[in-house]
């Protein structure tokens, strides 16, 4: 099978799989270029309420496929930044499910997700110093926001790998699971995400990412959606809420 991004949607959760197992799921130029289009399609699907990014088999992503960069390194870096920004801007909750190596561009993609769950044997590295690449400002700021400046500098200056335990301590990952339990935990947690108010999640994501000009927009969305009334009624009636807001029905989550 050619290197590609595979996608599926099951029970309101979209999964995008980085598929190039022969090269530890390294991202080709074509894959970097394709990711924003895949994300755009899934963002527009009202049936999708959360997204999981993972790699085929036992590796998340070993970074960029260096064999495709010799003549197009600058273009590939621009495409990687564009893909990362598209992932960070995805209007629904995103989770990176990490096994094995999560290195270079793979770490860049994982950092652009809202949450990161990893197997205890996972390894993380940010490796532009090994290639003489200037890491993008947006990616650097995102890494610093997750780990703090000291750990970000350690990773960027050295290119050394850290284990999942250290990644958890420094904030690079949110949960570490025993080997063999990652899929079960991701499925369990994304079911929780899909059951919650997407209105709350979309607004919280924008605010947490630093946007400060949309208070009135989200107040209007909440008023029109009826999600608050439904949530209160469900609580009082001791039942699961049926939240109706999905972005597409009541207006775009961007703007």
19: tokens are 């598929």
Pairing of strands 4-10, 13-19: antiparallel
- Taking the C-alpha atoms of residue 99 and residue 154, their distance in angstroms, rounded to an integer, is 22
* Phi, psi (deg, nearest 5) at residue 31: -70, -40
| 230, 243 Cβ separation under 8 angstroms | yes
- What is residue 73's predicted lDDT score, i.e. its pLDDT? 66
Place of tokens 């995400």: 193
Give the chain's length: 255
How far is it, in rounded angstroms, from Cα 82 to Cα 212?
Answer: 23
User: Rounded CA gap, 114 and 171, in Å?
Assistant: 12
Return d(Cα 137, Cα 109) in angstroms, integer.
Answer: 15
Range with the poorest average pLDDT among 14-23, 124-133, 193-202: 124-133
**Residue 68, pLDDT above cutoff 90:** no
Q: Convert the pLDDT of each residue in 142-162 to its tens digit.
A: 999 999 999 999 999 999 999
Q: How many CB atoms lie within 10 A of CB 121?
A: 13
Residue 220 CB coordination number (10 Å): 13
Confidence bin at 31 (pLDDT 50/70/90) = very high
pLDDT above 60: residue 25: yes
Give the per-residue pLDDT at 70: 62
Percent of the chain past pLDDT 90, that is, above it, reads 83
User: How does 127-143 read in b/e, with b if 16+ C-beta sit within 10 Å?
Assistant: bbeeeebebbeebbebb
Give the DSSP letter string of the chain.
--SEEEEEEETTEEEEEEE-GGGTTPBPHHHHHHHHHHHHHHHH-TT--EEEEEESTT-SB-SB-GGGTTTTHHHHHHHHHHHHHHHHT-SS-EEEEE-SEEETHHHHHHHHSSEEEEETT-EEE--GGGTT----HHHHHHHHHHH-HHHHHHHHHH---EEHHHHHHHTS-SEEE-TT-HHHHHHHHHHHHHHS-HHHHHHHHHHHTT--S-HHHHHHHHHHH-HHHHHHHHHHHTS-------STTT--S--
Residue 249 pLDDT more than 60?
A: no
* φ, ψ (nearest 5 deg) of residue 223: -65, -40
Q: Residues of the chain with pLDDT > 70: what percent?
A: 95
pTM above 0.75, yes or no: yes
Report the C-alpha gap between 193 and 212 in whole angstroms.
24
Report pLDDT digits (tens) over 180-234: 999 999 999 999 999 999 999 999 999 999 999 999 999 999 999 999 999 999 9
């Amino acid at each position: 099978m050619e290197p590609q991004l595979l996608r599926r949607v099951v029970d309101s959760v979209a999964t995008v799989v980085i598929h190039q197992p022969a090269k530890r799921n390294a991202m080709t130029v074509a894959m970097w270029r394709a990711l924003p289009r895949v994300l755009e399609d899934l963002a527009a699907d009202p049936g999708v309420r959360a997204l999981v990014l993972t790699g085929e088999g036992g590796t998340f992503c070993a970074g960029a496929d260096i064999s495709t960069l010799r003549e197009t390194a600058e273009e590939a870096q621009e495409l990687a930044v564009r893909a990362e920004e598209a992932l960070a801007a995805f209007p629904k909750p995103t989770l990176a499910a990490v096994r094995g190596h999560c290195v270079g561009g793979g770490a860049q993609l994982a950092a652009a997700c809202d949450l990161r769950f990893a197997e205890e044997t996972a390894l993380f590295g940010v490796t532009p110093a090994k290639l003489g690449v200037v890491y993008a400002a947006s990616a650097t700021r995102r890494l610093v926001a997750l780990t703090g400046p000291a750990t970000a500098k350690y990773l960027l200056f050295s290119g050394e790998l850290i284990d999942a335990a250290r990644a958890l301590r420094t904030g690079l990952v949110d949960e570490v699971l025993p080997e063999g339990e990652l899929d079960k935990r991701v499925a369990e947690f994304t079911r929780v995400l899909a059951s919650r108010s997407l209105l709350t999640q979309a607004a919280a994501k924008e605010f947490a990412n630093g946007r400060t000009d949309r208070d009135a927009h989200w107040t209007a969305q909440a008023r029109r959606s009826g999600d608050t009334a439904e949530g209160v009624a469900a609580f009082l009636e001791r039942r699961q809420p049926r939240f109706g807001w999905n972005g597409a029905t009541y207006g775009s989550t961007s703007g």
